[in-house]
Structure 1
Amino acid sequence: MTLLDQTAPSQQSALRAAPARPVEVYDFLRPTTLAREHSRVLELAFETFARQWGTQLTAKVRVLSQVTCEQVVMTTYDEFAASLPATTAMVLCPLDGATAKAVIQFPSAAALGWVTHMLGGTPAVGVELPERKFTPIEQALVRRLMDDALEDLRYSLGSLLVTPISVGGFQYNSQFAQAAAKSDLMIVAAFEIRVGESTAPATLALPAEILLPQLGETNPTSTTANARELIDSQLAAVPVEVALQFLPAQVLPSKVLDLAVGDLLALPHPEHRPLDVTIDGQTVGRAAVGANGSRLAGIIVTTEERLA
């Protein structure tokens, strides 16, 4: 008898109706997963880029546009290229001092729709434009859009992108575009671009060697050579409760049980003896009762010597 057979009928229907969760295969032999700290920093940067890019598209295309960042991963260039359609628009962006290039990828049919809007036209509803190479005029207009997109990218990444980047050539076959070596690691951000009523996927791939050095170490550790100094500095910053107390008085339990409002308890503390300064019950010195403005204060008169 299976676990499903032992479940109540209502629970059985709920289990059958529950959608299957997507499973992402992890290769333990190839640790190319981004550290959580790095991933969060990059996600915030690319979300900022998506908002800037959407605003820039709205201004240039003159149609309400929105760009949404969906995912940020690190993968090899070979796997990135294999995930792209065979025919698509790829803008190769050289980086100063780096052999690998950044890649902005989007369907050429979607870009043709953007160009139609820029020229004052309206794409035909329900008609899918073909995936083809851009004409010189179309390529010039798309290049202007990509120049603006790179400007938004520099602003959004800030100190993460210290290498100058520019728009290079166009490629239309993802398998023949030689932007990087197959084993080079790339930071790949996936986007959804909505222009008017049409949507299209897009990706931005940046060489990991350009971004990772600015992200710093993951879980950096400090040397233990000065452990004593580190402990002392940490303890010195921990707040503690300090109390001024009289000498304790010994009374019988019967006295305590018969206490009533107005009763007096005699304290063995001499009138002119300073109060004990204690921390967690340990005496560290003595102080006389004084005042600091409108508040009571303890004036330290002696301290207890402690062994180091």
Structure 2
Amino acid sequence: MAPETSTSAERTGGRRSRRRGVPVPYDFRRPTKLSRQHARVLEITYETFCRQWATLLSSTLRTSVQVELDGVQQYSYDEYAATLATPSIMTVFDPEPLVGAGVLHLDTPLMLTFVERMLGGTGAHEQPLRVLTDIEAVLCRGMVERTLGELAASLTSIVDLKPHLSSIEQNPQFAQAAAATDVMIVASFHLQVERIEGTATLALPLDPLSAALSAAELRVASPEELRIRRLMRDRLDDHLEHIPVEVSVRLNATQLRPDQILALVPGDVLRLPHAAEAPLEVVASDTVVASAVAGSRGSRLACLIVPTPEESSR
């Protein structure tokens, strides 16, 4: 028995070190919209949910159950759905009063272990990867509804959640809980029932969740904290106004074939598709921010900002 206990501890320790010690790649094309402070609040909240969920499962299955938070990450719904195995238990619920839909996903073998223990079995054997029967689906629905109740109790400091279970899908590709590009905050959990291990994920829509976190933060903040926040925001705005930004002025671009480019020699003249009366584009970071006409100021080239063609046509 001692070697088995040691191995379990090593697995748990290794999982925690991977979550907290190893850097996670950052995709600058998809910046994180959840602030670090809000992410930390969610982690603390989900840690509470883990304890309450473990208590619920332990009393229901009549054995010790461990639930640990592996992390909180941001995904588009399409990316999240692509990570889910088929078949698996994907429950869609209405996270009232938050707008949108939430998803609680569990591994099918893990849920079958739960069902076996609820029906009086030991749940000690490896479960097959298959769809649930009608009876198993009813037991699964009851378990998920009680889990959503524990989730609502854990989120009381953030939002008065009243989740309603909408549907249970065993093929994640058929569950259209959100648009493909909708951003979700996904919490990953690791569950262990004696020697059986599995995973679960909880996905909530980012925008309404962030709004609820901000509102909860304002409710608990003292007047002095609010004053300091306003002061910090004003200072940040003042500094941003004086940060130098590189801008350029450009004409409309033209297109050339590779052979034309290779044939260019000093002195060649290129015809640009830019009318003489058309304004130039003022560009910052490849984004057009204004229109201008060319000119000079003393011995230096300069430009005069003018109304954009759209503004002129109004």
> Which 4+ runs in 1 deviate beyond 6 A?
217-220
Q: Name 2:51's counterpart in structure 1.
A: 51
**Alignment RMSD:** 2.7
Q: Residue 153 of structure 2 is aligned with which of 137, 152, 155?
A: 155
1:198 Cα deviation after fit: 0.6
Aligned ranges 1:3-42 → 2 under 5 Å: 24-42=24-42
Query: In the alignment, is the contact (CA less than 8 A) between 2:189 and 2:200 conserved in 1?
Result: yes
Could you list the per-position Cα deviations for residues 33-64 of structure 1 after superposition, in whole angstroms to 9, with x for gaps in the alignment? Answer: 53110111000000000110000000111111
Q: Name 1:72's counterpart in structure 2.
A: 72
Report the residue type matching 1:187 in the other structure. I
> Rg: which structure is higher?
1
Query: In the alignment, is the contact (CA less than 8 A) between 1:65 and 1:194 conserved in 2?
Result: yes
The 1:168–1:199 alpha-carbon spacing in structure 2 relative to 1, beyond 3 Å, is: same
Please state if 1:60 is matched with 2:68: no
Query: In the alignment, is the contact (CA less than 8 A) between 1:73 and 1:188 conserved in 2?
Result: yes
Please state if 1:175 is matched with 2:183: no
Report the residue type matching 1:109 in the other structure. P
Q: Name 2:210's counterpart in structure 1.
A: 212
| Structure 2 segments unaligned to the other structure (5+ residues) | 1-17, 218-225, 236-314
Secondary structure at 1:165 match in 2:
strand
Report the residue type matching 1:153 in the other structure. L
Secondary structure at 2:71 match in 1:
strand
Query: In the alignment, is the contact (CA less than 8 A) between 2:87 and 2:131 conserved in 1?
Result: no
Q: Name 2:95's counterpart in structure 1.
A: 95
> Partners in 2 of 1:137 and 1:190 — Cα distance?
27
Query: In the alignment, is the contact (CA less than 8 A) between 1:161 and 1:210 conserved in 2?
Result: no
Q: Name 1:194's counterpart in structure 2.
A: 192
Could you list the per-position Cα deviations for residues 146-191 of structure 1 after superposition, in whole angstroms to 9, with x for gaps in the alignment? Answer: 1111111011111323342112211112222101111111111000
The 1:98–1:55 alpha-carbon spacing in structure 2 relative to 1, beyond 3 Å, is: closer
Secondary structure at 2:179 match in 1:
coil
Q: Name 2:129's counterpart in structure 1.
A: 131
Report the residue type matching 2:129 in the other structure. E
> Structure 1 vs Structure 2: percent identity of aligned residues?
38
> Partners in 1 of 2:30 and 2:120 — Cα distance?
49
Report the residue type matching 1:183 in the other structure. T
Q: Name 1:143's counterpart in structure 2.
A: 141
Secondary structure at 1:34 match in 2:
coil
1:73 Cα deviation after fit: 1.3
Query: In the alignment, is the contact (CA less than 8 A) between 1:70 and 1:190 conserved in 2?
Result: yes
Report the residue type matching 1:65 in the other structure. V
Query: In the alignment, is the contact (CA less than 8 A) between 1:94 and 1:100 conserved in 2?
Result: yes
1:121 Cα deviation after fit: 0.9
- Count of paired positions: 205
Report the residue type matching 1:222 in the other structure. R
1:67 Cα deviation after fit: 0.6
1:144 Cα deviation after fit: 1.4
Please state if 1:222 is matched with 2:238: no
Query: In the alignment, is the contact (CA less than 8 A) between 1:94 and 1:101 conserved in 2?
Result: yes
> Partners in 2 of 1:87 and 1:183 — Cα distance?
23
Secondary structure at 2:155 match in 1:
helix
Could you list the per-position Cα deviations for residues 42-97 of structure 1 after superposition, in whole angstroms to 9, with x for gaps in the alignment? Answer: 00000000110000000111111111011011221111111222321111112346
Q: Name 1:249's counterpart in structure 2.
A: none
> Partners in 2 of 1:115 and 1:166 — Cα distance?
22
